[in-house]
Amino acid sequence: MINSKKNKIWYGGDYNPDQWEKEVWDEDLRMFKLAGIDVATLNVFGWSKNQPDEDTYDFGWLDEMMDKLHADGVGVCLGTSTAAHPAWMARKYPDVLQVDFYGRKRKFGGRHNSCPNSPTFRKYSVLMAEKLAERYKDHPALLIWHINNEYGGAGNCYCDNCEAAFREWLKERYGTLEALNRAWNTGFWGHIFHSWEDIVLPSGLSEEWPGANGRTETNFQGISLDYMRFHSDSLLECYKLEYEAVKKHTPDIPVTTNMMGAFKKLDYHKWAKFIDVISWDSYPRFDTPHSYTGMMHDLMRGLKDGQPFMLMEQTPSQQNWQPYNSLKRPGVMRLWSYQAVARGADTVMFFQLRRSIGACEKYHGAVIEHVGHEHTRVFRECAQLGAELNKLGDSLIDSRFKAKVAIVFDWENWWAIEMSSGPTIDLRYVDEAHKYYKALYELGVAVDVVSVEADLSGYDLVIAPVMYMVKQGVAQKLEQYVQAGGSLISTFFSGIVNESDLVKVGGYPGELRKLFGIWAEEIDALLPSQRNRMILSEGASGMKEEYECGLLCDLIHSEGAEVKAVYGDDFYKGMPALTVNKFGEGEAWYLATSPEQAFLKDWLAQLCVSHGIEPFIHSLPEGVETTIRYKDDQQYLFVLNHNDETVQIDLGETTGIDLLTDRSLDGGKHELSSHDVMIIKLKS
């Protein structure tokens, strides 16, 4: 469990009493008790209040609030307050200020406003973390440390300190200029470097410019890719310095920092190695597919090999920063909270517990609304959920998720794909991964989302969509997996480059060519208005004869692979579009194009049947989600109805007790109301 002091699903969220007069505090605590709030995240943005000048530290307000919360049975997730530096620091030490993409020095303002390679920021952030750890190391309310907040949320920094640090990072990575010049292919456009001092950051002043679809275009992918790695590592180093500062005084208190799902700037797989408990902030829009939110939960759970994670932030009602900030309809907050729990969360926490009255988040929802009392729809729903989580007790804590299917997700591959100068600006790595996830989600099949470093041996089916970048040793790892009996799926635009974004010559898909038994001669990019067709071979039971496809079409030749579908149109009509290659005891599938969603659902359903991979419940109604969490020999089946109307669920022979209603369920058909949830403790 996260901390044995609180052996239940934690319930609470961000609390900012420093924004309020003290007479409000006791009223807040009264309402926390009514809502079942038992954890508060404090001090996330308290740096300026805690340190009004360079030499003064004042934690009086925090002392008082820590004591008050503990007296009321509320534990604390304690922030180190370093997510925004104080104004005096920006004035006195301008090296703390970021320089933007166009070389402009920022002034004080915003948040995430510090240069990660600023000596000043690193010095004072570590001092603050250590002073907090010294002060509160024995405080009974302390449950977990929260370092900084949503790292990487602002622009990257391009200052002189970062440029100097980038050169040192490159020296450590490559050792010599010769190795660097090879990795970056600097013979192109006469970019050969003869001195480390000649290397500058890729920015709007050098190699990069804003492109279409929100992308950053670059002349040299190798340089820009290394800057992405460097920037992620720079912020990680800041986190690690604070981590070490608090661990020195509280070695047994876990440490986290809140992540943001598929957040592009930071390589979360690398970060996860240095984080005790994964936490993340979930903010789907009103129209975000439920499958996408599910994939984000699974991605976060996969960062530490299935260890339960923290839902650190969600909104109780509405957000403030999206173009259209719709209310969560009645029951939706509860439903989405249980979706997180169903997929591995051991906490349900909000931003925020009380609404701010000023600045940009004053219209972001909260448990306690501006009216200031408990007689609101939102508060009633929060109190209902709090009571239910108390009722569940420790039953679900530390339970795990089991899957026989994995989707491989890699941040560096994502970066490389979307800074590639071709073949299409419409290729979005996360969207392609989600297409496969969505098909399995709708089939009710459990999925883990894992890194390229993960142990794949426990999975019957592994999907590695658009594996454009094949890092050193990965091809051999995949061959071993398939050789031993695994089934692997990869797709168009795979096996093209190495980790330096250099093309692997000798024919696509490079090092994967032998495994998939194909050669991709060309890659056709289709306009958004264009489509081709996949014509299936005979014998594909349960599937249509043809499906639409588009985006990209690899023109492939079989080199031993069996052709399962061909293109139906254009000059490459009749060329393979889907192949399978027997390799050792297993098989490797290559899908040479991006098919319509119906194909993926039909095809993956057939593959799951052939591998004995069963859904939790057969014949699920559309819009119903199911998962199982496992604890020792006990299983807990979650059934979540995302529909706006009541549906009928056929449990078949499944029997158990619904923990939320205490109903005994002896299989058969049961009605589940709109946005309702069942958590069934299954009979063994």
CA dist., res. 415 & res. 49, Å (int): 38
Indicate which residue of 150, 412, 442, 625 is catalytic. Answer: 150
In whole angstroms, what is the distance from residue 375 CA to residue 666 CA?
A: 38
Can you read off the two tokens belonging to residue 555?
A: 């023109």
In angstroms, the CA 427 to CA 551 distance is 7
- In 555-647, which residue ranges form alpha helices assigned H by DSSP? 597-610
Give the number of other Cβ atoms within 10 Å of residue 71's Cβ: 11
Q: Using alpha carbons only, what angle is made at residue 270 by residues 629 and 307, rounded to the nearest 5 degrees? A: 15
What does the DSSP 8-state code read for residue 341?
H
* Strand locations in 156-200 (E): none
Q: Is residue 168 a contact partner of residue 199, using CB atoms and an 8 Å limit?
A: no
Is 150 among the catalytic positions?
A: yes
> CB–CB of 558/579 below 8 Å?
yes
E-strand spans in 212-350?
Answer: 216-218, 255-256, 258-259, 279-281, 309-313, 345-350
Provide the greatest CA pair distance for the chain: 78
313 is catalytic: yes
Number of CB atoms found within 10 A of residue 69's CB: 26
- Active-site residue among 130, 207, 242, 313? 313
Residue 9 burial class via C-beta count within 10 angstroms: exposed 0-12, middle 13-18, buried 19 and up: buried
Residues 522, 554: Cα–Cα separation, whole Å: 6
Q: Strand locations in 461-583, DSSP E? A: 461-464, 487-491, 518-525, 532-536, 546-558, 562-567, 576-583
- CA–CA gap between residue 587 and residue 166 (Å, rounded): 43
What is the C-alpha separation between 221 and 662, in angstroms, rounded? 58
Long-range contacts of 494-499, Cβ-Cβ distance < 8 Å, separation of 24 or more: 494/464, 494/466, 494/467, 494/468, 494/470, 494/590, 495/467, 495/468, 495/470, 496/468, 496/469, 497/416, 497/468, 497/469, 497/470, 498/469, 498/470, 498/471, 498/472, 499/412, 499/469, 499/471, 499/472
CA distance 465 to 481: 16
At 193, list the tokens: 């470097």
Which residues participate in catalysis according to the annotation? Answer: 150, 313
